[in-house]
């Protein structure tokens, strides 16, 4: 055999190496044994053995979102692939670049209901950006390289490559990435149309009540886009709000930052969205959790929408100036055009607008009262932030109240530090994501802010953390309820807490010990700081069980079906009595 | 602005496994209508297939359909023939008629008026072939119903832009 002749399994390893992959998250099985054999015989590519395939995809997502690189997953056929589906859908919704290699039964058995056969490309078609079934070893290298290109270019997303076992055994010729011809379809537009830039600049320059509304697109675009976005906010002096996916794209400590926008966003951010005259959407997608009632969304504003995915334009909200392109390139063009026209903001109008915003800000909508008896969940997150702010801290979350409190209260100053399941809202995301983050950043502090219900959905990944000595910290806001469910039942369903009580919870301290990790517990406010400090000081994985107030709700809240200016600030808010219209009841 | 419009969309795709499933899955998954869909390879050397879709929706939905189609990886081009200018739309229909006597003769006469061709005949049946707009085929089917129509098969609409330009 010549150097470029190898079997399919070796080709997979070689292609991953050529794509710059240093780690794969996976779980072996019959159909992928040839790849595991090839893995065994090399020592460039590291494999992290998860405990469930869903965890493998979330770990790859955590890896990808904290590094900007493509996360790679390796699972077997049938159940291996179907278990990965939730993670793939999560990555699709949140635009995370992931390549997932799935084993498949040999080509001659496809369609015969063979052992561990599933129609993987059929099942994953709607939950991937693209997928492939490789039927010949001659197509293997090209397909793998194309999969990486598709995953990371344009709007990033998950790509599945289904690999029948006979293809992995067959011998063929390897092709390097640079020898692969580009396909004639699939050309994402990254350069903005100059006419649209001119139109956008015209609106930006003449705005009286402007607002930047920025999202995960900036972070996906990369550090350059984040830097340019900061410059644009700086040169305009306009206020800025971020979506859940965008946290960290602009420093939270900056006075021009109004906080999170949307259903649980701040009073000032949402009222600024409602009242602005020019909205500059940079890499966000007018998600229903941001817009609230579409018909009443920011009624008086002209809207600029910068997005790399043309299908996001006019999907939920009709915009005035769509700009298709990569955020970094669009921002660069906007800044250049503003400089060229010697832009200066309308200081009088802007001063008035800021004054208005400051009155909203004075409502202090995230305020809570902490007494000395029971830990408020918000206080737990505030203290976690205060005691970790001097470090380079990476936060992952599960899904629910704790996630929203983390988004509201944890202050992110840098991008790539916040990993959460936004679009799909996947409980069980946080711990495996933290595993992936810690693999990428071995010396950083990685904390999964969790709820006691969510953490049970992928708790098995503690075992992965212990095996690889990953010092991830699971910080459980334990209110013994599926808190967000309980909150909705309180507000919408007459306080009938149907199945939302977390019954028969494990003793999380003992559970941690059973996994070979350390367990800590805080039940009183006075114990909290010591527990957090100890959690950080322990060099290995820790579960910190924080017993919090069971009745606390996450406010502010825009009830579903309501507009931004109809948000409720707390239970004593007079709107809280019957917050949700019949129309809103049916929404999620 | 929120009126339901009918659009004929031509989609040029790489002819690879699963491409039709992607297109159809997109329509069902996002709740769009398909009134008709036809597909066949049009360029073997380039491995290109052309899909013609007739769909309905508000202008916002039609815009979404085109954007969503465009972002499928194997899609090369999406053209809204309804929006881009005059296009020829044709459909082929096969109709099986059974019966004897006056009705048989009347169906033949009407077929002649509609320029339908007889492509199969027995003592007691005909199969007519007819091409035209969907409306014309509907009219023909309605006329044939009382005369012994037993079966129909339609291709769905294929369309091409008028004039010299490609697409």
pLDDT of residue A508: 98
Beta-strand pair A473-478/A445-451? parallel
Measured at the CA of A300, the angle between CA A297 and CA A302, to 5 degrees, comes to 95
Write out pLDDT tens, residues B9-41: 999 999 999 999 999 999 999 999 999 999 999
Q: Does B16 touch chain A (CB under 8 A)?
A: no
Q: CB distance B71–A311 less than 8 Å? A: yes
Across the A:B interface, residue pairs with CB atoms under 8 Å apart total 47
| Position B142 pLDDT exceeds 60 | yes
Structure tokens belonging to residue B145: 């119903």
> From CA A346, how far away is CA B164, in angstroms rounded?
52
CA distance B160 to chain A (A): 21
Q: Does A110 touch chain B (CB under 8 A)?
A: no
By annotation, the residues of A acting in catalysis are: 53, 115-116, 165, 484
Write out pLDDT tens, residues A308-352: 999 999 999 999 999 999 999 999 999 999 999 999 999 999 999
CB A472 within 8 A of CB A435: yes
3-state class (DSSP) for residue B28: helix
Residue reference for tokens 């992931």: A98
Residues 6+ apart with CB under 8 A from B139: none
As for the ipTM of the complex, it is 0.92
Q: Does A314 touch chain B (CB under 8 A)?
A: yes
- Our CA dihedral for A78, A83, A86, A87, rounded to 10 degrees, sits at -100
* Phi, psi at A26, each rounded to 5°: -160, -175
> From CA A140, how far away is CA A18, in angstroms rounded?
14
Q: What is the mean pLDDT of residues B70-77?
A: 96
With bands split at pLDDT 50, 70 and 90, how would you rate the model's confidence at A578?
low
Least confident range from A453-457, A500-504, A580-584: namely A580-584
Outline where A301-410 has alpha helix (H): 327-340, 347-361, 377-388, 401-409
Write out pLDDT tens, residues A185-228: 999 999 999 999 999 999 999 999 999 999 999 999 999 999 99
| Position A1 pLDDT exceeds 60 | no
Structure tokens belonging to residue B157: 């609409």
What is residue A123's DSSP assignment?
H
Mark residue A95 as left, alpha or beta (left: phi above 0; alpha: psi -120 to 50; beta: remaining): left
| Position A21 pLDDT exceeds 70 | yes
Q: CB distance B60–A318 less than 8 Å? A: yes
Burial state string for A533-545 with b = 16 or more CB within 10 A and e = fewer than 16: eebbeeeebbbbb
Residue reference for tokens 């990965």: A84
> From CA A286, how far away is CA A357, in angstroms rounded?
22
Name the nearest CA neighbour of A96 among A121, A71, A75, A125.
A71
Measured at the CA of A292, the angle between CA A287 and CA A294, to 5 degrees, comes to 85
Q: Dump the DSSP string for A88-110.
A: HHHHHHTT--EEEEEEE--GGGT
Residues 6+ apart with CB under 8 A from A446: A393, A394, A395, A396, A434, A437, A438, A470, A471, A472, A473
pLDDT of residue A276: 97
Q: CB distance B67–A310 less than 8 Å? A: yes
B67 CB neighbours in chain A (<8 A) are 310-311, 313, 315
Write out pLDDT tens, residues A482-536: 999 999 999 889 999 999 999 999 999 999 999 999 999 999 999 999 999 999 9
With bands split at pLDDT 50, 70 and 90, how would you rate the model's confidence at B92?
very high
pLDDT of residue A570: 85
pLDDT of residue A170: 98
3-state class (DSSP) for residue A27: coil
Name the nearest CA neighbour of A449 among A544, A562, A345.
A544
What is residue A302's DSSP assignment?
E
Name the nearest CA neighbour of A38 among A175, A176, A169.
A169
Closest residue in A to B77 (Cα–Cα): A185
Roughly how many angstroms between the first and final C-alpha of chain A, as a whole number?
59
Q: Residues, chain B, total? A: 167
Mark residue A494 as left, alpha or beta (left: phi above 0; alpha: psi -120 to 50; beta: remaining): left
Q: Does B25 touch chain A (CB under 8 A)?
A: yes
> From CA A338, how far away is CA A392, in angstroms rounded?
34
pLDDT of residue A576: 63
With bands split at pLDDT 50, 70 and 90, how would you rate the model's confidence at A577?
low
Q: Which helix (H) or strand (E) holds B90?
A: strand B87-98
> From CA A514, how far away is CA B118, in angstroms rounded?
81
- Residue A582's CB is within 10 A of a number of other CB atoms, namely 7
Closest residue in B to A315 (Cα–Cα): B64
Name the nearest CA neighbour of A48 among A34, A31, A62.
A62
Q: Does B68 touch chain A (CB under 8 A)?
A: yes
Name the nearest CA neighbour of A10 among A40, A30, A31.
A40
Structure tokens belonging to residue B36: 């008709």
pTM score of the predicted model: 0.95
Q: Which helix (H) or strand (E) holds A119?
A: none
Residue reference for tokens 């990808």: A64
> From CA A437, how far away is CA A425, in angstroms rounded?
19
């Amino acid at each position: 055999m010549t150097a470029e002749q190898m079997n399919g399994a070796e080709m997979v390893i070689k292609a991953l190496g050529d794509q710059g992959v240093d780690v794969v998250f996976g779980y072996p099985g019959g159909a992928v044994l040839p790849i595991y054999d090839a893995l065994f015989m090399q020592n460039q590519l590291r494999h992290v053995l998860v405990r469930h395939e869903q965890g493998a995809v979330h770990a790859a997502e955590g890896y990808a979102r904290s590094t900007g690189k493509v996360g790679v997953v390796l699972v077997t056929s049938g159940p291996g692939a179907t278990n990965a589906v939730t993670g793939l859908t999560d990555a699709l919704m949140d635009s995370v670049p992931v390549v997932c290699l799935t084993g498949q039964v040999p080509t001659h058995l496809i369609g015969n209901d063979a052992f561990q056969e599933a129609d993987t490309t059929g099942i994953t078609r709607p939950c991937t950006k693209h997928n492939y079934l490789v039927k010949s070893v001659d197509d293997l290298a090209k397909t793998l390289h194309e999969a990486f290109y598709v995953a990371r270019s344009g709007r990033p997303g998950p790509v599945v490559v289904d690999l029948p076992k006979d293809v992995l055994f067959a011998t063929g010729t390897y092709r390097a990435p640079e020898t692969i011809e580009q396909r004639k379809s699939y050309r994402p537009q990254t350069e903005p149309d100059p006419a649209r830039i001119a139109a956008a600049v015209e609106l930006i320059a003449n705005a009286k009540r402007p607002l930047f509304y920025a999202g995960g697109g900036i972070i996906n675009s990369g550090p350059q886009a984040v830097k340019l976005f900061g410059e644009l906010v700086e040169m305009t002096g306009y206020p800025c709000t971020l979506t859940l996916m965008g946290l960290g794209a602009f420093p939270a400590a900056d006075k021009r930052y109004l906080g999170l926008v949307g259903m649980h966003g701040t009073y000032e951010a949402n009222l600024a969205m409602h009242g602005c005259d020019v909205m500059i959407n940079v890499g966000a997608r007018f998600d229903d959790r941001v817009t609230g009632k579409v018909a009443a969304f920011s009624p008086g504003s002209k809207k600029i929408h910068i997005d790399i995915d043309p299908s996001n334009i006019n999907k939920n909200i009709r915009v005035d100036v769509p700009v298709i392109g990569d955020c970094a390139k669009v921002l660069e063009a906007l800044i250049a055009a503003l400089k060229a026209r010697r832009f200066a903001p309308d200081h009088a109008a802007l001063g008035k607008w800021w004054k208005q915003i400051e009155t909203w800000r004075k409502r202090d909508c995230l305020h809570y009262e902490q007494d000395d008896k029971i830990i408020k969940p918000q206080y737990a997150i505030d203290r976690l932030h205060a005691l970790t702010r001097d470090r380079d801290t990476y936060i992952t979350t599960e899904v629910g109240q704790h996630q929203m409190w983390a988004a509201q209260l944890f202050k992110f100053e840098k991008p790539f530090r916040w990993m959460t399941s936004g679009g799909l809202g996947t409980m069980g995301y946080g711990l495996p994501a933290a595993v992936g983050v810690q693999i990428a950043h071995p010396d950083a502090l990685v904390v999964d802010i969790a709820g006691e219900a969510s953490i049970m959905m992928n708790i098995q990944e503690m075992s992965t953390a212990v095996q690889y000595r990953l010092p991830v910290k699971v910080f459980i806001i334990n209110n013994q309820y599926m808190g967000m469910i309980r909150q909705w039942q309180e507000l919408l369903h007459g306080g009938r807490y149907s199945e939302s009580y977390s019954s028969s919870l494990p003793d999380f301290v003992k559970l941690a010990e059973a996994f070979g990790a350390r367990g800590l517990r805080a039940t009183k406010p006075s114990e909290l700081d010591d527990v957090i400090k100890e959690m950080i000081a322990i060099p290995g994985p820790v579960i910190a069980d924080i017993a919090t107030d069971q009745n606390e709700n996450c406010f502010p809240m825009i009830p579903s079906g309501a507009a931004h200016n109809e948000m409720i600030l707390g239970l004593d808010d007079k709107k809280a009595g019957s917050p949700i219209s019949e129309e809103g009841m049916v929404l999620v | 602005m929120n009126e339901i419009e009918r659009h004929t969309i031509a989609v040029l795709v790489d002819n690879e496994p699963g491409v039709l499933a992607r297109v159809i899955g997109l329509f069902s998954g996002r709740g769009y209508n398909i009134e008709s869909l036809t597909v066949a390879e049009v360029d073997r050397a380039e491995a290109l297939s052309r899909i013609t879709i007739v769909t309905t929706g508000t202008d916002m939905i039609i815009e979404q359909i085109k954007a969503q189609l465009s972002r499928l990886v194997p899609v090369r081009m999406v053209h809204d023939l309804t929006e881009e200018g005059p296009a020829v739309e044709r459909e082929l229909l096969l109709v099986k008629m059974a019966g004897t006597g006056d009705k048989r003769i009347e169906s033949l006469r009407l077929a002649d008026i509609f320029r339908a061709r007889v492509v199969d005949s027995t003592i007691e049946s005909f199969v007519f072939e007819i091409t035209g707009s969907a409306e014309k085929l509907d009219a023909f089917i309605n006329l044939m119903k009382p005369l012994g129509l037993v079966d129909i098969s339609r291709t769905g609409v294929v369309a091409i832009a008028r004039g010299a330009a490609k697409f």
